[in-house]
Amino acid sequence: MRFDVFSLFPEVFQPYLEISILKRAIANGLIEVNTHNIRDWATDKHHTTDDTPYGGGGGMVMKPEPVFAAVESVLGSPPACPVILLCPQGELFTQSIARGLASQEHLALLCGRYESFDERIREHLATRVISIGDYVLTGGELPALIVMDAIARLQPGVLGDREATDDDSHSADGLLEYPQWTKPAEFRGWSVPEVMQNGNLGEQLKWKRQQSLIRTLKWRPDLLEKANLSDKDRKFLKKYIEESDGERDS
């Protein structure tokens, strides 16, 4: 899978791309990441990429000319792949969106700076606007890295011998992942649950599912509204809630 990233600070990306899983994925040809400095397409002697907003207001706005020129120079006109604009006004990035985008062979990520983009970039160049959360950052580089990481790890071979991602939080069933442990079995008096040590796979799978349900209920109850729950899951949650309410009342 190929990513083309357009930014005023492309050097931000290299340290993260040169370590661990993404480094190996790039070295093995599983993903390709090309970064492009938008400023290289500014035509004035100062390489200006921003200007004051029409109508007044604070901050500066990224100009359309260098952004269009950068994207079209690399990707053609119209661009040969989806162009994702990273912006806090966009749709909230989720694991479901990551899975959908992972099916693409080529994606472009457009990182903003300053106050905002000229609206013509959003309307006539970007094909999708994505936000990583309801907060504002100084630029789109960190969101772009997050989007790339989430999509890249879904590509075949990127995770090596850990191909299955269905148990991850926010995966197909919509639940948070169950708790995990490793050796030693006891640390500072805190022990790994016996069920996770007894070697009974059936009991362990049942326990993991129940822990996912409990963790989602406690930490992200909003996810349960859309989660893929069986009748057994619903019965377990009902019983758990009733027992928890009973303990609080006693």
> Token pair for residue 15?
């340290």
CA 111 – CA 8 distance, rounded (Å)? 8
In residues, how long is the chain? 250
> Token pair for residue 190?
């805190």
Q: Is 88 a catalytic residue?
A: yes
First to last CA, the chain: 57
Which member of 66, 79, 88, 143 is catalytic? 88
The amino acid present at 187, given as its one-letter code, is F
Q: Is 167 a catalytic residue?
A: no
Which member of 24, 39, 53, 115 is catalytic? 115
Q: Hey, is 129 helix, strand or coil?
A: strand
Supply the Cα-derived Rg of the chain in whole angstroms.
23
Phi, psi of 115 (to 5 degrees): -75, -45
Which member of 66, 113, 122, 153 is catalytic? 153
Which member of 65, 168, 173, 177 is catalytic? 168
What secondary structure letter does DSSP report for 222? G
CA 167 – CA 19 distance, rounded (Å)? 24
Task: Report the catalytic residues.
Answer: 88, 115, 153, 168
